[in-house]
């Protein structure tokens, strides 16, 4: 419960306009954690009123993204709830009714200014050093004046009548914030074509759904002094659940060049992380660190642990710098902590996309993957890296290739001497297991040829795996099996 003893209700309300921005993912995470920490409700609703940009494909993508992240919602699409529908495109009647009530009660008014008139007055205000916001010229039109404008064919917008006083509120992240009235002019709620704007739909939905806390990006801070008076008007009119939300504005996520991270920047969109094979828990762990700390020097934790510890008062208001390398390092830690069986299961889609296993792997493929997974879990930072490392085990002999650059560097005349000695040592070997393979190769190459391990095993590694970087050599050879190992060594000698 909050200090006011209201059950916490927070929301995440993105627009379905494509790839979800990681800053929005962090916003969803902080709202989810705040709800879970306080025993409240996490509401997921979709602001899909922009017909030019929104799409059904992007809408489904939003749902898929939140499911993939593991941020379960208590109310919203496919879950339902008492305050639906949860898509703005299905709530148009509500917005129209509320706008009319605001006008009738004097909280809003019709304004007939043309764009040209507005721009002319703004230019004059700027030239005189005054605020260029709306000057309130049409605030108190008479019926006759309205009729005259309408006779000219003008279609009015609906503007909210801002109070002529400073707006002060306590930001949950930034403390007390004040906006003077000259900086917050009357703003448009409904366009001349009747389309409601975000400035109306967002607060009306928050009011109707009883949202108690709005945690959102710093870029929306300037809209808060507009929304608070609107919420007070809605409460006065008995619209919604009678709640004026508390606001907290999360710090910017900064990208390259110390500017706000864009969805088009490398690392700015969620799809990239899914494709590269980040674990959702690893990505969320890192995003949590952008402005918040679980305490002490600890950086790796689970979603459950975050929810237990999350306090909005501990969010740092300063901009947070996105560090791709640290994000990868955090993800790698989560990979290390996965049980082998779980990691193997998560690798399947990436191996399947590469054509190395079936979409539904065979029993033989699954057994080989289970045996190979421990060889890579300490060597990868994202799941997709396992594809290159394990490909040599799953490709057919006809499909096996050796990296030409690695071959040129390692499979020289001296390197082929090493390969020949390795083949001679492995051909009679029984049992063909890791300890026996290691002993045989060390005896033949290190003791027999007098080579240092780095020079002794490199040519063998390239011959059997196709690359200079591979999982541990002796274990790899055991999994590859004697017949395939000898075939590849022979092929290297013949090339």
Query: pLDDT per residue over 321-371, tens digit each?
Result: 999 999 999 999 999 999 999 999 999 999 999 999 999 999 999 999 999
Residues 202-220: tens digit of each pLDDT: 999 999 999 999 999 999 9
**Residue 60 · residue 21 · CB < 8 Å:** no
Q: What is the dihedral of CA 45, 46, 49, 53, to 10 degrees?
A: 170
| 263 appears as a binding residue in the annotation | yes
Confidence of residue 17 (pLDDT cuts 50, 70, 90): confident
Q: Mean pLDDT lowest for which of 54-68, 89-103, 256-270, 420-434?
A: 256-270
For residues 219-234, average pLDDT: 97
Q: What's the confidence (pLDDT) of residue 4?
A: 52
Q: By CB neighbour count within 10 A (0-12 exposed, 13-18 middle, 19+ buried), where does 403 fall?
A: middle
DSSP strands (E only) in 89-225 = 108-111, 157-160, 167-171, 175-179, 187-190, 213-217
Cα–Cα distance for residue pair 365/287, rounded to 1 Å: 35
Element (H, E) at 43: strand 41-44
pLDDT of 266: 81
Report pLDDT for 3: 41
Active-site residue (options: 101, 263, 274, 409): 263
pLDDT tens-digit readout, 118-127:
999 999 999 9
In this predicted model, what pLDDT tens digit does every residue of 361-377 receive, in sequence order?
999 999 999 999 999 99
Number of helical H runs and strand E runs in the chain: 20, 11
260 part of the active site: no
Whole-number pLDDT of residue 50 = 77
The predicted model gives 64-91 an average pLDDT of 96
Q: Is 80 exceeded by the pLDDT of residue 248?
A: yes
Residue 158 has pLDDT above 60, yes or no: yes
Mean pLDDT of 254-278: 89
For position 5, what pLDDT does the model report? 67
What mean pLDDT is predicted for residues 469-488? 97
When pLDDT is averaged across residues 39-55 and rounded to a whole number, the result is 87
Is the pLDDT at 93 greater than 70? The verdict is yes
Tens digit of each residue's pLDDT (9 = 90 or more) over 28-37 = 999 999 999 9
Rounded to two decimals, the pTM is 0.92
Q: What is the mean pLDDT of the chain?
A: 95
Whether the per-residue pLDDT at 24 is higher than 60: the answer is yes
- Domains of the chain (ranges; CATH) run 91-250 (3.90.800.10), 338-394 (1.10.8.70), 404-494 (1.10.10.350)
Q: Are 224 and 247 in contact (CB under 8 A)?
A: yes
CA proximity to 272, closest of 218, 220, 331, 317:
331
Q: What is the pLDDT averaged over residues 428-457? A: 95
Q: Residue 296: which pLDDT band, with cuts at 50, 70 and 90?
A: confident
């Amino acid at each position: 419960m909050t200090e006011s003893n209201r059950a916490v209700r927070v929301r995440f309300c993105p627009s379905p306009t494509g790839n979800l921005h990681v800053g929005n993912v962090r916003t969803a995470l902080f709202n989810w954690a705040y709800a879970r920490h306080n025993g409240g409700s996490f509401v997921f609703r979709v602001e899909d009123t922009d017909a030019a940009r929104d799409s059904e494909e992007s809408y489904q993508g939003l749902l898929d993204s939140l499911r993939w992240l593991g941020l379960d919602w208590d109310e919203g699409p496919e879950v339902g709830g008492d305050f639906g529908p949860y898509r703005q495109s299905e709530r148009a009647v509500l917005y129209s009714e509320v706008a009319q009530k605001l006008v009738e009660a004097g909280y809003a008014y019709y304004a007939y200014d043309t764009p040209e008139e507005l721009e002319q007055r703004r230019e004059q205000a700027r030239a005189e050093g005054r605020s260029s916001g709306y000057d309130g010229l049409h605030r108190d039109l008479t019926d006759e004046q309205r009729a005259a404008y309408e006779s000219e064919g003008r279609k009015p917008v609906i503007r909210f009548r801002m109070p002529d006083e400073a707006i002060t509120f306590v930001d949950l992240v930034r403390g007390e914030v004040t906006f003077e009235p000259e900086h917050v002019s009357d703003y448009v709620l409904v366009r001349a074509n009747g389309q409601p704007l975000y400035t109306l739909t967002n607060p009306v939905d928050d009011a109707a759904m009883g949202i108690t806390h709005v945690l959102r990006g710093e870029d929306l801070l300037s809209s808060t002094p507009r929304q608070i008076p609107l919420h007070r008007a809605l409460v006065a009119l008995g619209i919604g659940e009678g709640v004026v939300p508390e606001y907290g504005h999360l710090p910017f996520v900064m990208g390259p060049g110390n500017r706000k991270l864009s969805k088009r920047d490398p690392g700015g969109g969620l799809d990239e992380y899914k494709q590269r094979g980040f674990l959702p828990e690893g990505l969320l762990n890192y995003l949590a660190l952008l402005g918040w700390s679980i305490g002490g020097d600890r950086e790796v934790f689970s979603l459950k642990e975050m929810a237990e510890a999350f306090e909005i008062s501990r969010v740092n208001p300063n901009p947070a710098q996105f560090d791709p390398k640290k994000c990868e390092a955090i993800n790698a830690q989560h990979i290390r902590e996965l049980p082998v069986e779980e990691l193997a299961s998560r690798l399947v889609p990436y191996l399947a996309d590469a054509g190395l296993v079936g979409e539904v792997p065979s029993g033989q493929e699954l057994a080989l993957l289970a045996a190979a997974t421990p060889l890579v879990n300490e060597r990868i930072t994202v799941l997709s890296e396992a594809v290159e490392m394990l490909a040599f085990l799953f490709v057919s002999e006809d499909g096996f290739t050796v990296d030409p650059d690695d071959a040129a560097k390692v499979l020289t005349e001296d390197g082929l001497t090493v390969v020949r000695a390795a083949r001679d040592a492995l051909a009679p070997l029984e049992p063909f297991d890791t300890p026996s393979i290691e002993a045989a190769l060390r005896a033949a190459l290190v003791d027999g040829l007098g080579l240092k391990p780095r020079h002794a095993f490199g040519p063998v590694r390239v011959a059997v795996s196709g690359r200079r970087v591979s999982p541990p050599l002796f274990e790899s050879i055991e999994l590859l099996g004697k017949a395939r190992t000898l075939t590849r060594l022979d092929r290297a000698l013949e090339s």
